[in-house]
Amino acid sequence: MDAVNKPNSTSSENLQDAVREILPNHVVPKHYNILIEPAFDGTTFEGTVKINFVAVTQLEFIVLNAKGLEIEFAEIQYKDDFYEIPLDSFNQHSKLERWEISLQNCRKPMPEEAFTLAMDYNGQINEYGAGLFRSPNLSIPGYMLSTEMEPTNARMVFPCIDEPALKATFSISLIVQENLTCLSNMPIESESPMPRSDQKRLYFAKTPLMSTYLIAFAIGHFDMMQSDEFRVPVRVHAPKGSAIQDGQYALDIAVKALAHYEKLFDYDFPLPKMDLLVVPNAFSAMENWGLATFQPQYLLLGPDSKAADKMESASMICHELAHQWFGNLVTMTWWDDLWLKESFADWAAIHIRTVWSQIPDIEAWEDFASSGFQLALYSDSFRNTHPIQATVHRPSEISQIYDDITYKKGCSIINMLAVLDNQGAENFKDGIRKYLKTYAYGNATASNLWTAIGEDKYGFLETWIKTPGYPLLILEETPEDSASKGYGYHVDQERFLITPKLKRKERKAWWPVLVHEEDTDSREWVTLSNHRLQDFRPAIRPENLNQGRVGFHRVGYSSASFLQKIAKCFAEDDGNRVADRIGIISDTAALAFARHRLCRTQDLLNLLNLYKGETNFFVWRTMLVTLSEIRKLLLFTNEDTRTAVLNFQNSLTSKLIHEKGWIFEENEPLNEQRFKAFLFGYAGGDKNVTDAALAMFKSFFRRDMKAINPNIRTEVFKLVLEMGGIKEYRKLHSLLLTTLQPRIRTDILSSLGYSQHPASIEATLEIALRTTSQSGNEVFITIRPLTTHKPGIEALWEVMKSKKWFQAENLSLRTLAPIIEVILDAFTTMEQYEEVKILFDSIDTTGVENTIAQGLERIQARARWVEQDHDEIAKWLREHGYFSKTAQELARITVIKKAWKNMTDALPLRRASQPLRRPSEPMP
Ligand SMILES: [Zn+2]
């Protein structure tokens, strides 16, 4: 369908265009012919692009996107006539990332005339995962090249109109050494040796109509495995020397996911092949059409991978493959609808887990309710949040919306829509099928999706995607006399904010909320579309205002005793109430942290105490994450109170940890394995567990690699390092520099920061700074454990103050924003708030200003809770006997003191510089 290439016409869209920083729409690109030839040393490339355009008006100039490219030659061609464009006709706006090309000295295209603009240019190859970049091979010297164009990096590889709505077809061609393998969106059509050289030229088949941000190609020495079980070939590729056989799990998942999606979407996968490629320096994963790229740990899962890795890998692959339809076949018109593809891909990746037998997981939504759903509710409970459909004017604003609101809140809203449908989600499925068929090879907006699903739901969803924040529903029992008519309640709603005092305007905001009303034969939804619902009289279980945690809202109860009564009711109905127990704990925790009038922190502690007999993993995860959040909040106050919280936590978990143990059976369900590993990681106060961790660690370094089950490898490293072992730190550090196994590398990086020894902190920071320039994802897993202790936080703040991350030229905004977020999330006092403010007032923070504003607001909220609730929480813990040290706690302190005493020797650590596998030589 070609309709997408017509300029926009409606007045509201013209209005939007006026605030969007887009190129003038006086030319329409139809086809790109792209030739790329990387230099032998892999640092630069030469490019030629020929763009077939059609002029909309008579042209005086042409404007294209280009970033970091240098023009060498340009000409314009009409059928058989050629006109050279002098280079001084190129006006380069580096800030706007544009070339304005004046046509003063050559014939100007007339309206509706077709012409070709041809340009020779050169550009840079970097190693930080944007545009065309290098990655080190995993196990042999040398490197590979690959691309990442999303959101606006295609312009770093070829001059283009880099906007998702300006779809075109692409013919890509490469000149490379003849022994190298090349991949792109489409298969290779032909290849021939270059005369008088050891190079070859490859031509890939022409693509269908697609957006520039989805273009991809890769060059290197690759190993490959293929499956022919799907209608078209599906392959996993990895740099040569990787354990390619470890790609079998990913390949199986990919084949099954593609087959599943073809049925779900009722639309054949549109390309002749699907490749999945390991890219060590990839940001995370990227859905390029026909050539999706992934960090190694998502595709290479050897015998040493853990249950959590398998789940993560499956959901990442299912997410990227859902994009092959949602995003690639039908693309958002502009970046403000980024959520449309991301939240849908997230929804599809969870939905698939509940319906297929490859990874049977009946609790996929409970998993989400206790993880992504909570992250979205948390982010959205501050004033500095944004609507799902965010306003995006220019490229620098896009990087700040790859966040929990876009992905997780969006996913929750899509899920609400799917569940809302009474007919087993068939209307919803029919709607998305219609949407894909109507807009295939074109672009669409959120309202196009609503229309396809059914106009009646349009209004309901508009509020959810356009309004920031979400409501708190307050359930109040009505007086005794009206109770005789059955259950009687009032339901009120108000915006839920962690930051104090609702402003007058905020008090007026309301959302259409779906209140589930359960009945013996049918499921019905009550739309609560005003501030107050008087005499709400549901038939059964009236207390539940968010059945299964489908609605994106929190629930509060009018009194502490009412809350406890409901919590007991959820606990007794063990089988069906997992999501509700997760919900009541997390809602109560959120109200307590907000210091909401309905709830005190002691109500939360009473609730956790009530649930100590719990048996479900996801409920336990919610409870323990809540307790660890309390400990984190108390980090800069009283150490004795923190210890008392730990004693309380141990009193809840101790029996269960020993019942479950830490022996893992081969065929145990993945969630059971995750449960055991999770509990083990939270058992730092249990001497039996720490002794076991130390013993496993010792055997592991005596070359018994099987001594630590992969499920608890990070936890064992963490427990050993937390006990202060400097010798152990040194061992892990050396292993990091030599290991070729991506999973072990990730586990070490996620543990080193737990060591509090000054020399270890310095070494960990050195790794973080080095990985910053290579892999955005690795830097977070390295610095996150440093934020669990004071010396680590202080050291991280020193690095932030040195502005090293801000001055790093090759650091993308998509990496910088989460670094800032992770560090600011560790602060809990107003003194820290002031310090943060002073620093960022003195730096140009363009592109991360929202992240900083959010961070500051969160520090304020935490500081307020600490100041006002510390004494109350200490009182509760004292009254319940958690201040007196248990025998286990005393034993643990002795172990730590002993370990620290042995740490007087200086740290002769090997410097991390050269061994971190930088590309040190030209591609062989
Ligand atoms: Zn995605």
Condensed to tens digits (0 to 9), the pLDDT of residues 719-766 reads 999 887 788 999 999 999 888 777 888 899 999 999 999 999 999 999
- Hey, is 284 helix, strand or coil? coil
Q: Measured in angstroms, how far is the CA atom of residue 237 from the centroid of ligand 1?
A: 20
Return the closest-CA partner of residue 752 out of 640, 740, 278, 771.
771
Residue 745 is predicted with a pLDDT of 87
Among 168, 186, 220, where does a domain finish? 220
How far apart CA 877 and CA 881 sit, in angstroms, is 6
Residue 707 is assigned to a structural domain of this protein: no
* C-alpha distance from residue 204 to each of 150, 166, 454, 748 (Å): 21, 21, 41, 40
User: What are 536-542's contacts with CB under 8 Å, separation 24+?
Assistant: 536/488, 536/489, 536/490, 536/491, 537/485, 537/486, 537/487, 537/488, 537/489, 538/487, 542/487, 542/489
How far apart CA 229 and CA 243 sit, in angstroms, is 22
**Does residue 905 register a pLDDT over 60?**
no
Q: Is 809 marked within a binding site?
A: no
Q: Measured in angstroms, how far is the CA atom of residue 403 from the centroid of ligand 1?
A: 11
Angle at 766 between CA 760 and CA 771, to 5 degrees: 125
**Does residue 497 register a pLDDT over 90?**
yes
- CB contact at 8 A, 804 and 773: no
**The one catalytic residue among 127, 150, 287, 320:** 320
Residue 473 is assigned to a structural domain of this protein: no
Domain, as residue range, for 372: 331-468
Predicted confidence band of residue 780 (pLDDT cuts 50, 70, 90):
confident
Neighbours of 837 (CB within 10 A): 13
Q: Measured in angstroms, how far is the CA atom of residue 738 from the centroid of ligand 1?
A: 32
Predicted confidence band of residue 211 (pLDDT cuts 50, 70, 90):
very high
Average pLDDT over residues 357-369: 77
Least confident of 234-248, 526-540, 588-602, 835-849: 526-540
Predicted confidence band of residue 698 (pLDDT cuts 50, 70, 90):
very high
Element (H, E) at 901: helix 887-901
**Does residue 906 register a pLDDT over 50?**
no
Residue 41 is assigned to a structural domain of this protein: yes
Task: Out of 498-512, 703-717, 879-893, give the one with best mean pLDDT.
Answer: 703-717
Q: Are residues 199 and 78 in the same domain?
A: yes
Predicted confidence band of residue 294 (pLDDT cuts 50, 70, 90):
very high
Q: Is 658 marked within a binding site?
A: no
Residue 359 is predicted with a pLDDT of 60
Q: Over pLDDT 70: what percentage of the chain?
A: 86
How far apart CA 736 and CA 729 sit, in angstroms, is 11
Q: Are residues 227 and 244 in the same domain?
A: yes
**Does residue 924 register a pLDDT over 60?**
no
Q: Measured in angstroms, how far is the CA atom of residue 840 from the centroid of ligand 1?
A: 31
Predicted confidence band of residue 517 (pLDDT cuts 50, 70, 90):
low
Q: Are residues 464 and 503 in the same domain?
A: no
Q: Are residues 232 and 196 in the same domain?
A: no
Give, as one character, the DSSP assignment of residue 865. H
Q: Measured in angstroms, how far is the CA atom of residue 319 from the centroid of ligand 1?
A: 6
**Does residue 7 register a pLDDT over 50?**
no
Average pLDDT, the chain: 86
Q: Are residues 229 and 207 in the same domain?
A: no
Q: Measured in angstroms, how far is the CA atom of residue 494 from the centroid of ligand 1?
A: 32
Neighbours of 881 (CB within 10 A): 12
How far apart CA 367 and CA 99 sit, in angstroms, is 48
Angle at 650 between CA 658 and CA 727, to 5 degrees: 80
For 135, phi and psi rounded to 5 degrees? -135, 145
Task: Out of 249-258, 803-812, 909-918, give the one with best mean pLDDT.
Answer: 249-258
Predicted confidence band of residue 850 (pLDDT cuts 50, 70, 90):
confident
More confident residue, 485 or 188: 188
Predicted confidence band of residue 203 (pLDDT cuts 50, 70, 90):
very high
Element (H, E) at 830: helix 830-841
Residue 10 is predicted with a pLDDT of 37
918, two tokens? 């930088």
Q: Are residues 252 and 389 in the same domain?
A: no
Residue 98 belongs to a domain with what CATH number? 2.60.40.1730
How far apart CA 678 and CA 667 sit, in angstroms, is 18
Residue 897 is predicted with a pLDDT of 56
- Hey, is 846 helix, strand or coil? coil
Among 156, 186, 220, where does a domain finish? 220
How far apart CA 896 and CA 900 sit, in angstroms, is 6
The amino acid occupying position 91 is: N
Element (H, E) at 200: strand 199-204
Which residues touch 770 (CB under 8 Å, ≥6 apart)? 912, 913, 916
Residue 462 is predicted with a pLDDT of 82
Angle, helices 248-265/338-355, rounded to nearest 10 degrees = 110
- CB contact at 8 A, 298 and 308: no
- CB contact at 8 A, 833 and 827: yes
Neighbours of 101 (CB within 10 A): 22
Q: Domain total for the chain?
A: 4
Residue 599 is assigned to a structural domain of this protein: yes
**Does residue 167 register a pLDDT over 70?**
yes
How far apart CA 500 and CA 753 sit, in angstroms, is 34
Q: Measured in angstroms, how far is the CA atom of residue 147 from the centroid of ligand 1?
A: 16
How far apart CA 747 and CA 705 sit, in angstroms, is 14
How far apart CA 86 and CA 104 sit, in angstroms, is 10
Residue 373 belongs to a domain with what CATH number? 1.10.390.10
Q: Are residues 117 and 183 in the same domain?
A: yes
**Does residue 908 register a pLDDT over 70?**
no
Q: Are residues 561 and 588 in the same domain?
A: yes
Average pLDDT over residues 74-78: 95
Longest dimension (CA), the chain: 98
Q: Is 393 marked within a binding site?
A: no
Average pLDDT over residues 870-874: 93
Omega into 151 within 30° of 0, i.e. cis?
Answer: yes
Q: Are residues 458 and 394 in the same domain?
A: yes
Residue 730 is assigned to a structural domain of this protein: no
Partner residues linked to 126 by β-bridges: 133
- CB contact at 8 A, 170 and 303: no
Work out whether strand 532-536 and strand 489-495 pair parallel, antiparallel, or are unpaired.
antiparallel
**Does residue 917 register a pLDDT over 50?**
no
For 233, phi and psi rounded to 5 degrees? -60, 140
Which residues touch 845 (CB under 8 Å, ≥6 apart)? 852
Q: Does the CA dihedral 60-62-68-74 come out positive or negative? A: negative
Residue 623 is predicted with a pLDDT of 97
How far apart CA 170 and CA 205 sit, in angstroms, is 9
Residue 570 is predicted with a pLDDT of 84
Q: Measured in angstroms, how far is the CA atom of residue 338 from the centroid of ligand 1?
A: 9
Q: Are residues 425 and 524 in the same domain?
A: no
Partner residues linked to 286 by β-bridges: 293
485, two tokens? 């008519």
7, two tokens? 């300029």
How far apart CA 459 and CA 512 sit, in angstroms, is 9
Average pLDDT over residues 364-374: 93
How far apart CA 922 and CA 204 sit, in angstroms, is 25
How far apart CA 650 and CA 642 sit, in angstroms, is 12
Angle, helices 307-322/338-355, rounded to nearest 10 degrees = 130
How far apart CA 353 and CA 359 sit, in angstroms, is 6
Least confident of 96-105, 719-728, 765-774: 765-774
Among 443, 468, 493, where does a domain finish? 468
Average pLDDT over residues 337-355: 90
How far apart CA 170 and CA 161 sit, in angstroms, is 13
- Hey, is 48 helix, strand or coil? strand
How far apart CA 480 and CA 351 sit, in angstroms, is 43
Beta strands in 18-60 (DSSP E): 27-38, 44-55
Residue 373 is assigned to a structural domain of this protein: yes
Residue 422 is assigned to a structural domain of this protein: yes
How far apart CA 801 and CA 644 sit, in angstroms, is 34
Q: Alpha-carbon Rg of the chain, whole angstroms?
A: 29
Residue 189 is assigned to a structural domain of this protein: yes
* C-alpha distance from residue 426 to each of 34, 453, 547, 747, 807 (Å): 43, 10, 21, 42, 52
How far apart CA 652 and CA 657 sit, in angstroms, is 10
Neighbours of 249 (CB within 10 A): 21
Return the closest-CA partner of residue 556 out of 486, 628, 489.
489
pTM to 2 decimal places: 0.90
Q: Are residues 488 and 545 in the same domain?
A: yes
730, two tokens? 């040194």
* C-alpha distance from residue 3 to each of 281, 340, 357, 390, 443 (Å): 37, 20, 40, 25, 9
Buried b (16+ CB within 10 A) or exposed e, 373-405: bbebbbbbbbebbbbbbbebebbbbbbbbbbbb
**Does residue 371 register a pLDDT over 80?**
yes
- CB contact at 8 A, 595 and 609: no
Neighbours of 60 (CB within 10 A): 11
More confident residue, 222 or 482: 222
Residue 421 is predicted with a pLDDT of 66
863, two tokens? 């500081």
777, two tokens? 């994802």
Q: Measured in angstroms, how far is the CA atom of residue 4 from the centroid of ligand 1?
A: 22
Give, as one character, the DSSP assignment of residue 662. S
Which residues touch 457 (CB under 8 Å, ≥6 apart)? 417, 420, 450
Q: Are residues 361 and 280 in the same domain?
A: no
Give, as one character, the DSSP assignment of residue 711. G
Q: Over pLDDT 90: what percentage of the chain?
A: 59
Condensed to tens digits (0 to 9), the pLDDT of residues 439-491 reads 999 999 988 988 888 766 666 778 888 999 999 998 887 765 554 555 567 78
Q: Does the CA dihedral 518-519-520-523 come out positive or negative? A: negative
- CB contact at 8 A, 825 and 786: no
Neighbours of 638 (CB within 10 A): 13
Residue 771 is predicted with a pLDDT of 66
For 452, phi and psi rounded to 5 degrees? -65, -35
Let me know if 518 is a catalytic residue: no
Residue 246 is predicted with a pLDDT of 94
